[in-house]
Structure 1
Amino acid sequence: MNRSTPTSRRQTRQVNESVILRAAERVFARAGFEGATMADIANEAGLPKANLHYYFGAKRALYRAVLDAVLHDWLAPLDAITPEADPRTALCRYIELKMALAAERPHASRVFANELLHGAPVVLDLLRTDLRQQVLAKAAVIDGWIAAGRMAPVDSVHLFFTIWAATQTYADFDVQIHAVLGTEPNPATDTPRATAHVTSLILRGCGL
């Protein structure tokens, strides 16, 4: 008799959790927390509803897991910003990764934006701890670059707010953007054009 090993069970769990999180991202983005149901998410994931309860429990716990995953993935690109890095290269890389996330996972941005618009009732603690600590640490790196004359003086914390606003708008307001442009979405051309524009604007503001 074939029996699954602990490793295979762990891999299966990881795959299922990832599928559920991505499906939940899409459903919460469309319907909001109140409008989404576990049945909707199960259908989107192509998995039995019981799997959702097994891995995440109730809907609120799954919603929190989605927000946690989004914030984790958004913080990862900050790794490019280190004291020894070239400021221009590091900021280019950060913006490029943020734009890629906006293009590849727009639903993630919309879920997070909706949470913030409602006062961040679920993730305010994460914003005040994990996000704040990461931003202040990376702002200190930028302040070091400025002190060393490697870039123009800017408000390092507000620089991050500006980059977030400039990049996430392509996910949160894509309908408005394409309505104004009079075009249908085409990531192959839209993302490079937008990335080049945002990068150029930020770098010039930083004297790079």
Structure 2
Amino acid sequence: MTSIRERNKALILRAASEEFAEKGFAASKTSDIAERAGLPKPNVYYYFKSKENLYREVLDSIVEPLLQASEPFNQPGHPADVLRAYIRTKIRISREHACASKVFASEIMHGAPHLPPERAEQLNAQASHNAACIQRWIDQGLMAQVDPNHLLFSIWAATQTYADFDWQISTVTGKAHLEDADYDAAAETIIRLVIKGCDVQESAPSR
């Protein structure tokens, strides 16, 4: 059963994600966050102490899902299956954590001044591990000779756009909000581009 404390913190965190995504860190006010959460302003300070701490909590709320998205790279698996799972999860994150994703993207574009160093190290270490996995698959003849880092950058850009540019996507598609089928189509399109474009083998090459 969710406690009142957990419920209130979740309400504030969600409201802060929306506020920071819309206005950025500097322009966001704790009073507006509290109003959006439907709670008194002192509650924000009671649970998070400061706007800076709350902003870091928003960043942390997206870092963990991003790290978990790479879980397929952390265990034995065929590259086609790993890449499919990774791309589908990244699309899901852009859908389920759209506001926090926007906040994270803005933070990175500004040089990550508020991202805790240990979190940056975790993200960089995971990215290096993922790139090493891709390079190993290339060396094994399981996919084409592509630059692993730039492949990852392309996947990040293609999946992240469904959070950062949701207004543009909705405008172009003529929909107020994207539906399950739209996100599924996005994932399958990106998967097809990566699997086919990088000539990822569906099974190990014969000797």
Compared CA separation, residues 166 and 16, structure 1 to 2 (3 A): same
Pair 1:98-2:129 in alignment = no
Q: 1:189 is aligned with what amino acid?
A: A
Q: 1:42 aligns to what? A: 34
Residue 103 of structure 1 contacts residue 187 of structure 1 at CA under 8 Å; is this kept in 2?
A: no
Q: How does 1:84-123 map to 2 (within 5 A)?
A: 84-123=76-115
Separation of aligned partners in 1, 2:163 and 2:182: 12
SS in 2 for 1:186: coil
Aligned match for 2:172, one of 180, 189, 198: 180
Q: 2:183 aligns to what? A: 191
- Would you identify which runs of 4 or more consecutive aligned residues in structure 1 move more than 4 Å? none
> Unaligned stretches of 5+ in structure 2?
201-207
Q: What's the TM-score once normalised by structure 2's chain length?
A: 0.86
Q: CA RMSD in A?
A: 2.1
Indicate the percent of aligned positions where both proteins have the same amino acid.
41
Residue 19 of structure 2 contacts residue 33 of structure 2 at CA under 8 Å; is this kept in 1?
A: yes
Aligned match for 1:133, one of 112, 122, 125: 125
Aligned match for 1:73, one of 65, 82, 90: 65
The range that moved more, 22-31 or 112-121, is 112-121
SS in 1 for 2:114: coil
Residue 25 of structure 1 contacts residue 107 of structure 1 at CA under 8 Å; is this kept in 2?
A: yes
> Unaligned stretches of 5+ in structure 1?
1-7
Q: 2:59 is aligned with what amino acid?
A: L
SS in 2 for 1:151: coil
Residue 109 of structure 1 contacts residue 171 of structure 1 at CA under 8 Å; is this kept in 2?
A: yes
Q: Deviations over 1:68-110 (max 9, x none)?
A: 2211221211001135111111110110011011122211121
Residue 83 of structure 1 contacts residue 145 of structure 1 at CA under 8 Å; is this kept in 2?
A: no
The range that moved more, 66-75 or 46-55, is 46-55
Separation of aligned partners in 2, 1:102 and 1:33: 20
Q: CA deviation at 1:204?
A: 1.5
Q: Deviations over 1:156-178 (max 9, x none)?
A: 22221111100011111122223
Q: What's the TM-score once normalised by structure 1's chain length?
A: 0.86
